[in-house]
Amino acid sequence: MLEVINLQCVRGERSLFDSLSFQLKAGECLLLQGENGSGKTSLLRMLVGLTPPTTGTVHWNGRPIKQWGDEYGRELLYCGHSPGLKEDLSATENLTFGSALADIQVGSSTVYDVLHQAGLRGCEHLPVRALSQGQKRRVNLARLLLQKRALWLLDEPLTALDTKASRWIVELIDRHLGDGGIAVLTTHQDMKLAHATQTIRVGA
C-alpha cells in the first residue's frame, strides 16, 4: 500500500501544493493532472524518494519510505518524462544494461521479445540516437516488462506515442493493476483504465 500524508511542495516562494493526502491499495491507480509547472513531476519525485517534501510523509506498506532504504527502490519502477537512454547504445543494450543495474539478468531473447511487444521489431540493434522520440519512449517503457515491480511511477507515459502504442501502454497498466500492482502516473490525456482509478488535479 502507498500512502501520502499531508505533502507540501514549495519551490522558491511558491507553494505548488499543500496538505495533499491519498492512499492506494493493490490494484489501484492514481492519475495526476494539472497544468505544466503545477508540481506533478515534483510529486512523482517525492514518491520515488528523489526529492524530499517540504512537509508531510510518504509511506510504503505502513512505514515511511526513508526507513526502507534501498529496499524501497527495489519495489518501484520510475519512468520519467525524459527517456533516460544512452544515445550511443542500441535499444537492446540499453535494456540489458538497465536491467543489470537493477540486479536483474535478462537474456537477449527476452529483450528482443519485449522490444517486439513494444512495436520495435527491426530496431533492436539501432543506436538510440537513430530512433524517433516515440520509439525512444517505447524503449524506456519496455522496462515495465523486464523489471517486475509492485509500484509503477510514470511521468506522461503517453507522450509522443501513436494510437497503437498508447493502447499498448494502457493495456500494460491494466494488466499490472489486475496482478495486484499499484500505479501513479501524470497525464494530460484521457486514459480509460478497467481498474480502480483515482484522479487528483495538482495545483488546482
One domain for residues 46 and 56: yes
One domain for residues 184 and 130: no
| pLDDT tens, position by position, 6-54 | 999 998 888 889 999 999 999 999 999 888 888 899 999 999 999 999 9
pLDDT tier for residue 84 given thresholds of 50, 70 and 90: confident
One domain for residues 161 and 99: no
One domain for residues 43 and 3: yes
One domain for residues 134 and 154: no
How far apart, in Å, are the Cα atoms of 104 and each of 100, 130, 137, 153, 188?
Answer: 5, 27, 21, 19, 32
Domain that holds residue 127: 82-147
Number of structural domains (the chain) is 2
One domain for residues 126 and 163: no
Q: Which of 119, 147, 175 is the last residue of a domain?
A: 147
Judged by average pLDDT, the poorest of 107-111, 192-196, 199-203 is 192-196
Task: Provide the 10 A C-beta neighbour count for residue 67.
Answer: 11
**How many whole angstroms separate alpha carbon 89 and alpha carbon 163?**
27
Does the reported pTM lie above 0.85? yes
One domain for residues 25 and 107: no
Residue 128 has φ and ψ, to the nearest 5°, of -60, -30
Q: Which pLDDT does position 204 carry in this prediction?
A: 59
8 Å CB contact between 120 and 168: no
One domain for residues 143 and 159: no
8 Å CB contact between 118 and 142: yes
Closest CA to 75 of 156, 126, 1: 1
Pairing type for strands 182-186 and 197-201 reads unpaired
One domain for residues 140 and 97: yes
Q: Cell numbers 512495436 correspond to what residue? A: 119
Pairing type for strands 151-155 and 76-79 reads parallel
Q: Cell numbers 498508447 correspond to what residue? A: 166
One domain for residues 54 and 96: no
Centroid of chain to Cα 160: 15
